[in-house]
Amino acid sequence: MPHFLQHLSDILFPRYCAGCGCWDTDVCSQCYLLADSEPVLKAIDDSSGVPTIPIWALGAYRKELRNLILTAKHAATHRLDSFLWLAGTRLGAAISDDVHNHPVWVVPAPSSWKRRWQRRHVTPIVARGVVAGLSEMGIDAWLADIVRLRFGAGAQSSRSGELRRRGRRGAMKTTAIVPKGTLVVLVDDVMTTGATLAEMSHVMDPHVVSGAVLAYA
């Protein structure tokens, strides 16, 4: 776009950082660095509270990282694909030690029909980044978008922890069989109670070895 047209566009449709709100950029340099944060290790717990599956996250679901995730999910004015992809590559590199040179299917959390219709994809983009990050570490990795919500499964936003867990029990199905010897890495945007990842693990067992999320709550 010619400079004067870009200038006019910025006047008519001012841009702001999705993370911190500073003007004239979709994501400022400081917020963009959040995608390259050192991942931290969390876990999904079983019913007795024992950690079962390691989950890697960029950080806590707050401040700028929270704003970036919410914008990616809901704001039509911003496209944060490059941020999401870079975050995925960072998480993929961290996960590489969990898979021990086995072939890996990277499986994103299923999106609702509404999000698919609106094309507001977050987890598939992060998952593609995870594939790239694993590949850079010498792991044979493929994106496998093979988990779907069953008809009638509702959204999880604004639900309490127990309602989230109830809402995901029996709510998913797979569309393919994981090949023998292939491991599975799960990907979601935010881990709140871990209900979505736990149900994904249930339908994918026993192949699941690790998971990746942008943030934990």
DSSP run (H or E) holding 84: helix 81-99
Q: Is residue 138 domain-resident?
A: yes
Distances in whole angstroms, Cα of residue 211 to Cα of each of 7, 27, 28, 153:
42, 26, 28, 22
pLDDT digits (tens, 9 = 90+) for 3-37: 544 444 554 557 889 999 998 888 999 999 999 99
Reported as a pLDDT band with limits 50, 70 and 90, residue 78 is confident
Domain count, the chain: 1
Strand 183-191 to 104-108 pairing: parallel
pLDDT at 113: 66
Q: Is residue 22 domain-resident?
A: no
How much is the mean pLDDT over the chain? 85
Domain span holding position 212? 38-216
Q: Is residue 5 domain-resident?
A: no
Q: What CATH number does residue 119 fall under?
A: 3.40.50
Q: Is residue 132 domain-resident?
A: yes
